Amino acid sequence: MDASTARLVDAPAAVGICDTHFHVFGPYDRFPLPRHPSYAPQEATAAAYHQVAERLGIDRMVVVQGGCYGTDNAAMLDAVQILGPDRARGIAIIDGTTSVAELHRLHEGGVRGIRLNAISDKRIDADAIRTQANMIAELGWHIQLHARADQIVQHAALLRDLPVEVVIDHCGRIDPREGEDQEAMRAMLDLLATGRCWIKLISYRSLPAGGEGDEMAPFLRRFAAAAPERCLWGTDWPHPLMEVVPDTQRLFEELCSVFDEPLRKKIFSENAERLYGFK
């Protein structure tokens, strides 16, 4: 990488860069997949992620439970401990049967939110979301929602009225071909305007086949202009379910190039510090 790119990468690292979104799978001799997983990724351990973190200058990190494990959060919790409970947090998957005792155990293990994956489930169950939101509200957790852009439009009122904050995954999977004034963009900007919604500026999954990262740059800038205090960044390592696995460092450098230093400081560090309770 040339000197100008190196400076872009070094700038956020100097203020405690936080990767708010990556997954661990395995080690499979300790944490095997269930008999019929929703998908079967290659092993991607906390030790392997640590090398990525060292290379990119990541100081803090958030392990997001992989959907293939369902509500068995053991691998995620183990990764938090390996990476260090002072510098790592977790996002769990629960269901309506999860006990209060289990929620408190997860909290002690570093969990600060739950993930709902409407992409995998193909639909949004409003009653289930309300139930889980009520279950976690007392703990001060948030809901991290992975949903299609049209689902966010359809259920914006539900998300706005929940008793917890909401983090939108992957730029809401917005389609850049539909333009900046599409209904989904307006819906997400309205949610951000409530002050109780956050968005992860992980945009590569929104690109059409053959698309380039700069297609998403105008959308990233609009999100950041609308809610500079509630934009987050994550690697999405190891990029599960991608036919062509992107280069993690290249994605990082592309996002760095979109924003100036003050915004990078917020997106890569300060905002995550507040949301996940890092000290």
What pLDDT, in 10s, does the model give residues 56-66?
A: 999 999 999 99
Mind listing the pLDDT tens digit for each residue in 75-109? 999 999 999 999 999 999 999 999 999 999 999 99
Q: Where are the alpha helices (DSSP H) in the chain?
A: 3-13, 46-56, 74-83, 100-108, 118-121, 126-137, 149-154, 156-161, 183-193, 217-226, 248-256, 261-265, 271-276
Tell me the CA end-to-end span of the chain in Å, nearest whole number: 32
The encoded tokens of residue 179 equal 């333009």
- Among residues 59, 236, 247, 260, the one annotated as catalytic is 236
CA distance linking residue 197 with residue 191, whole number of Å: 6
Per-residue pLDDT of the chain (279 residues; tens, 9 = 90+): 333 333 344 444 445 899 999 999 999 999 999 999 999 999 999 999 999 999 999 999 999 999 999 999 999 999 999 999 999 999 999 999 999 999 999 999 999 999 999 987 777 899 999 999 999 999 999 999 999 999 999 999 999 999 999 999 999 999 999 999 999 999 999 999 999 999 999 999 999 877 777 899 999 999 999 999 999 999 999 999 999 999 999 999 999 999 999 999 999 999 999 999 997
Q: Is 236 a catalytic residue?
A: yes
Length of the chain (residues): 279
At residue 279, the pLDDT reads 79
Domains by residue range for the chain, with CATH: 3-273 (3.20.20.140)
Based on C-alpha coordinates, what's the Rg of the chain?
18
Measured over all CA atoms, what is the biggest interatomic distance in the chain, rounded to whole angstroms?
53
**Structure pTM?**
0.93
